[in-house]
Structure 1
Amino acid sequence: MTQHSELSTQKPIPYGRQHITEEDIAAVVETLQSDFLTQGPKVAEFEQAFAHYVGAKYAVAVANGTAALHLCAMALGVNEESRVITTPITFVASANCVRYCGGTVEFADIDPATALIDIEKVRQLLESKPKGYFTGIIPVDFAGNPVNLEELRKLADEHGLWIIEDACHAPGGYFIDSQGEKQLCGNGKYADLAIFSFHPVKHIATGEGGMVTTNDEELYKKLLLYRTHGITRDPELLEENHGGWYMEMQELGYNYRIPDMLCALGLSQLQRADAGLTRRREIAQVYDTAFAGFEGVETLRTSAEALAEQGHTGHAYHLYVIRVEDRKGLYDYLRQHNIFAQVHYIPAHTMPYYRSLGFKKGDYPEAEHYYSQCMSLPMYPTLTEEEQQFVIVKIKEFVRK
């Protein structure tokens, strides 16, 4: 029996996996034994550390990435008259947050080379309507590959749009701007707000959790208010003050808080975020080399190619995506060998809910063609070299057949 066939009988290889260390466990236990399980000091510590990590002035920790998106839409005043553009290749929350506030979602098709929202198609969509028709745009740093927000910001400014950067896949990712400067995802230079997720398969895992980053103090204060029922205890903001117990509900907000124990886990995970990112890029390089010139497997073009001459990449590699003709066949074949690859994403406009709003198959052909071929391969820091080689062997084995 070969090494690879032996491996096929062992534990499953998922597309993503959390990595919890003894240090993580100790950090959570310490918080469990403290005076605060929620609304305590670890929340602010995590916010400050994460803001520093991405280079933003402010950060607000929340229950999950979807809550982060919803709060952003609320803070920006999305309502029934708002029309917002996003990509069809994303988790549906990127679009749903607009619907939560009563707004209208429109999609712009993707660039087939990257699966990122096609900025030229965004331009065409904007120019097809009078100025003021659209109010904002939600680009997604899909798979960890950063959108060029400098270019998108120029277009947004021409049409008076705000930007929410969905950076759930890209903590630590960056692009190089026209001045040769590194622009970290979520640093707030070009986007009004940015959001992150701490779901277990993401770079930083807290179980559930999310973060909003911004450089806008006014938006930051709104986020804090909306996160906790629209309630404030700040004496400077109160309309009345009956005593130390007094609080006021000044807006209709939500309970989108995150507990201290999860923030303690996030703080611990953040300490090794750079090491995890380095390992993800090493895994991506192995895949790149394995599939370079291999007929039948196509990889997405990434920022790595644009930055190759500078000797570094801004890709955060939450996902490593390939495209193959017989995606269903390969998916089933890999599962037979305990390799649990995944598909990201089913185009949002083809979901029954969005079809009920008037969208239909055929509206965004690049997104639909991408979906028919895409597959996300195992990508997480604890993936072993042996496991990765096994994945590569099985993919090539199937494609050659």
Structure 2
Amino acid sequence: MNSELSSSPKPIPYGRQNITEDDVAAVVDTLQSDFLTQGPKVAAFERAFADYVGADFAVAVSNGTAALHLCAMALGVNEESRVITTPITFVASANCVRYCGGTVEFADIDPATALLDVEKVRQLIESKPKGYYSGIIPVDFAGNPVNLEEFRKLADAHGLWIIEDACHAPGGYFFDSNGEQQHCGNGKYADLAIFSFHPVKHIATGEGGMITTNDEKLYKELLKLRTHGITRDPELMEENHGGWYMEMQELGYNYRIPDMLCALGISQLQRADAGLARRKGIAKVYDEAFADVPGITTLQTTAAAFGEASATGHAYHLYVIQVQDRKGLYDFLREHNIFAQVHYIPAHTMPYYRSLGYQKGDFPAAEQYYAGCLSLPMYPTLTQEEQQYVIEKVKAFVGR
């Protein structure tokens, strides 16, 4: 191994964007065009992304949280709504319900995958009268796709909608009961799906998000809500005074995304498959390195958890290990310029959600997972030497 790398590498973060000369050229070209916002690059990015995930429609917005908020609004979440989600997620997955005045109810995770446990959700739903709950927000945590077919069956039995939080999983997929490949965000089982283009995600635009759906009515509602609740479509107006006329028909938001960010997104999308392949390669190296190391546990893929063969559509936004002394390993890695991260602090333990009645101990599997989880560096430009250095240091700490 390179001795210089082993002793003093450059900082290795848990995630990192990759901006190429083609990306820069795409942004500059748009900056020099006639449109900086509400121009043709927005629609072009939406079409390209919808094609990528296999959905009929896509709506580009300012960030993933805005995407979640608009989904909740479009589905009619209000003060009477009760929505189920996972505690192991970024808090935006739950906050979008609170933005609309609804009640968030958490259900515990499957400890093998850290995904929302469909059986726990079933128990929660069946413990209440029919119609008590409005919807479910499963999360494709770390890039591991939720088996949405199972959630769809449950949702249909109780009249619930589904928002798939696929921020970690563009390009991810699972196999349904017919053996068909179902891509995250394709709209087959979820009413709406959302994605994020934060710099550490697969597709980086700085900030940005996308909503995908196969429901044309929801699609048109999202377009309106994204722009202040305003429509310029003459067929939807109550009046029409002329070419300048527009109508604000409901209270929406300014959740638009600029054209230059969409230009960057289009450019990034062109190498999304290559980036995903590299992530899977990195994961395979980690898998092999930690397979027989006492004291290190890795999360199962959806395929493995369902007893399937090794085929998996895991998108590997994160590579998570679990260890007994997580704080010790976290500090040790930082001392060696490896900036691992923790994903996530259980949402129900946050002071805000505790103020709503939740408390530590409510979801034991989520809390046990959190006690030992650590996300190791995972991004396409991570070099083989850097990854081997990470593995070397993790093993050195765990083995001592």
Shorter-chain-normalised TM-score: which range? over 0.9
Provide the rounded CA distance (Å) in 2 between the counterparts of 1:60 and 1:185: 16
Q: SS in structure 1 opposite 2:104?
A: strand
Q: CA RMSD in A?
A: 1.2
Equivalence for 2:114:
115
Counterpart AA for 1:146? P
Equivalence for 1:225:
224
Q: CA deviation at 1:5?
A: 5.3
Q: SS in structure 1 opposite 2:80?
A: coil
Aligned residues: 400
Equivalence for 2:274:
275
- Partners of 1:8 and 1:338 within 8 A in 2: no
- Partners of 1:204 and 1:266 within 8 A in 2: yes
Equivalence for 2:204:
205
Equivalence for 2:29:
30
Does the alignment pair 1:397 with 2:396? yes
Provide the rounded CA distance (Å) in 1 between the counterparts of 2:289 and 2:398: 13
- Partners of 2:5 and 2:389 within 8 A in 1: no
Q: CA deviation at 1:11?
A: 1.5
Q: Higher mean Cα deviation, 57-66 or 234-243?
A: 234-243
- Partners of 1:307 and 1:313 within 8 A in 2: no
Equivalence for 1:216:
215
- Partners of 1:188 and 1:194 within 8 A in 2: yes
Equivalence for 1:146:
145
Q: Please list the CA deviations of residues 102-145 of structure 1 after superposition, one character each: whole Å capped at 9, or x if unmatched.
A: 00000000000000001100011011101100000000000000
Structure 1: segments with no counterpart, 5+ residues: none
Does the alignment pair 1:182 with 2:172? no
Does the alignment pair 1:300 with 2:320? no
- Partners of 2:174 and 2:303 within 8 A in 1: no
Does the alignment pair 1:368 with 2:364? no
Counterpart AA for 2:154? L
Classify 1:78/1:307 alpha carbon distance in 2 versus 1 (closer, same or farther; 3 Å). Answer: closer
Equivalence for 2:253:
254
Equivalence for 1:312:
311
Provide the rounded CA distance (Å) in 2 between the counterparts of 1:379 and 1:361: 30
Does the alignment pair 1:6 with 2:17? no
Provide the rounded CA distance (Å) in 2 between the counterparts of 1:90 and 1:20: 27
Q: CA deviation at 1:310?
A: 5.9
Classify 1:279/1:308 alpha carbon distance in 2 versus 1 (closer, same or farther; 3 Å). Answer: farther
Classify 1:309/1:140 alpha carbon distance in 2 versus 1 (closer, same or farther; 3 Å). Answer: closer
Q: Please list the CA deviations of residues 24-71 of structure 1 after superposition, one character each: whole Å capped at 9, or x if unmatched.
A: 000000000000000000000000000000000000000000000000
Provide the rounded CA distance (Å) in 2 between the counterparts of 1:300 and 1:332: 22
TM-score scaled by structure 1? 0.98
Q: CA deviation at 1:309?
A: 6.8
Counterpart AA for 2:280? R
Aligned ranges 1:46-57 → 2 under 5 Å: 46-57=45-56
Provide the rounded CA distance (Å) in 1 between the counterparts of 2:34 and 2:106: 47
Provide the rounded CA distance (Å) in 2 between the counterparts of 1:87 and 1:4: 43
Equivalence for 1:236:
235
Provide the rounded CA distance (Å) in 1 between the counterparts of 2:5 and 2:216: 56
Counterpart AA for 2:231? T
Q: SS in structure 2 opposite 1:60?
A: strand
Does the alignment pair 1:90 with 2:89? yes
Equivalence for 1:125:
124
Structure 2: segments with no counterpart, 5+ residues: none
- Partners of 2:162 and 2:190 within 8 A in 1: yes
Q: SS in structure 2 opposite 1:392?
A: helix
Does the alignment pair 1:72 with 2:55? no
Counterpart AA for 1:28? V
Identity %: 82
Q: CA deviation at 1:312?
A: 3.4
Q: SS in structure 2 opposite 1:205?
A: coil
Counterpart AA for 1:398? F
- Partners of 1:15 and 1:377 within 8 A in 2: yes
Equivalence for 1:356:
355
Provide the rounded CA distance (Å) in 2 between the counterparts of 1:371 and 1:52: 36
- Partners of 1:342 and 1:375 within 8 A in 2: yes
Q: CA deviation at 1:6?
A: 3.3
Q: CA deviation at 1:306?
A: 5.9
Q: SS in structure 2 opposite 1:90?
A: coil
Equivalence for 2:62:
63
- Partners of 2:137 and 2:164 within 8 A in 1: yes
Provide the rounded CA distance (Å) in 1 between the counterparts of 2:346 and 2:305: 27
Equivalence for 1:383:
382
Q: CA deviation at 1:3?
A: 2.2
Provide the rounded CA distance (Å) in 2 between the counterparts of 1:383 and 1:281: 12
- Partners of 2:169 and 2:315 within 8 A in 1: yes
Aligned ranges 1:160-199 → 2 under 5 Å: 160-199=159-198
Provide the rounded CA distance (Å) in 1 between the counterparts of 2:172 and 2:333: 29
Q: CA deviation at 1:320?
A: 0.3
Counterpart AA for 2:285? V
Q: SS in structure 1 opposite 2:199?
A: coil
